[in-house]
Chains A and B, each alone.
Chain A
């Protein structure tokens, strides 16, 4: 997604109004641009949620994407997902934490190391299971 032509001046895409599936079934509003059949919001939402996977972060670091200023600016722009009207579409909460960590340069450097990635994965899984144990 480094080739996504979004700059920091572009406003975030509007979130879908009601149930997205319903509007798609009835007939979509053609004023939205679609890339490969998907709206910009869908693609950015999917990307943000994939950031929750530490293995993916490690992959991005390995591809040297995290060193590019454009990509870092894009990650900064993606923080609009923390606003209430966007956050309700996030289904994987670790993604938000990962997004926050990615804003720090030290994290972007360290996630390249495999044991950092492993530790992050273990802690993430532990946290999810702990959460389930506390609130069954």
Chain B
């Protein structure tokens, strides 16, 4: 690098000397001036090259420093891992306390998971953010109709979602929520803002088994007489309804087929044709086809 620049400088100097000589000897030569210009340009290029060279050099040094630093970091991490492993192996494994109390509190994993699933429905939702203010004094008017219904102490509804709180909520919600439309998000937030109480509230109790039994007693039905389980009784009722409906449909079907046959007879009688009646097979197939379409029964309306 330096040699190259030296050569440039040399050329420049020689060209300059030649020019000066030619001028002092009252014989200015244009070629000498041109040589000087060329040498000057050459020098300029050399200087630029020098600048690039310097910057590359600096960059290389910086990279070398980074590499050294990372190397040191890696070595220290490896050393730390090795030390930790040595410590871990050095500690003897400890035995859990085998006392009676500990074994009594052992819970099978399946039970625990089933319980978690059950309880999650009644736990404070993680997205629950509304601050419920303390419930003010209430006016007692107990619902004396239902035994299962409680008093009128519902949880107070308190939510003041300030705009900045809503924004904070949105920032906390994940990407999945962001993909919903504004309407769906509003609905979810409305559901979250419902007051949460850690016990069954009055409306929950009103939907429960006790309230149902109380209703039955109020209607005069005898609950003790029902030995079948609730769901089975409902299923029974539904099955009976379906059977009745099917029966009704079949009756309508027969009615329609009969009327169609009569129409055919009448038409044939009007035309006066004595053609043999079409085979029963076609008629039944036709009836099966048309029976499914309610639109083709003008007389049924």
Residues of A within 8 A of B (CB): 1, 19, 24-25, 27-28, 30, 33-38, 42-43, 46-47, 49-50, 52-56, 58-59, 62-63, 88-89, 91-95, 114-115, 117-118, 121-122, 124-125, 127-129, 131-132, 136
| A127→B213 contact, CB < 8 A | no
Q: A50-B208, A136-B126 are in contact. List 11 more A-B contacts (CB 8 A).
A: A1-B210, A36-B212, A37-B212, A38-B230, A43-B210, A52-B199, A88-B111, A128-B124, A129-B132, A132-B124, A132-B128
| B210→A94 contact, CB < 8 A | no
Give the residues from 157 to 184 in chain B that come closer than 8 angstroms, CB to CB, to chain A: none
CB of B14 closer than 8 Å to a CB of A:
no
**CB neighbours of A55 from chain B (8 A):** 150-154, 202
**Prevailing SS type, chain B contact patch:** loop
Q: How far is the CA of A131 from the CA of B125 in the complex (A)?
A: 12
**A91 and B126 in contact (CB under 8 A), knowing A43-B209, A50-B200, A53-B200?**
no
**Shortest Cβ distance from residue B167 to the other chain A in the assembled complex, whole angstroms:** 20
**CB neighbours of A129 from chain B (8 A):** 124, 128, 132
Q: Which of B122, B154, B230 contacts A37 (CB 8 A)?
A: B230
| A118→B135 contact, CB < 8 A | yes
| B226→A36 contact, CB < 8 A | yes
| B198→A92 contact, CB < 8 A | yes
- Closest chain A residue to B230, Cβ basis: A37
| B198→A58 contact, CB < 8 A | no
**Prevailing SS type, chain A contact patch:** helix
Q: How far is the CA of A34 from the CA of B232 in the complex (A)?
A: 12
**A50 and B128 in contact (CB under 8 A), knowing A34-B227, A59-B150?**
no
**CB neighbours of A24 from chain B (8 A):** 229, 231-232
CB of B119 closer than 8 Å to a CB of A:
yes
Give B175-210 as 1s and 0s: 1 = Cβ < 8 Å from A's Cβ atoms.
000000000000000000000111111100100111
| A52→B198 contact, CB < 8 A | yes
Give B246-272 as 1s and 0s: 1 = Cβ < 8 Å from A's Cβ atoms.
000000000000000000000000000
| A115→B208 contact, CB < 8 A | no
CB of B140 closer than 8 Å to a CB of A:
yes
CB of B121 closer than 8 Å to a CB of A:
yes
Q: Which of A28, A122, A125, A131 contacts B229 (CB 8 A)?
A: A28
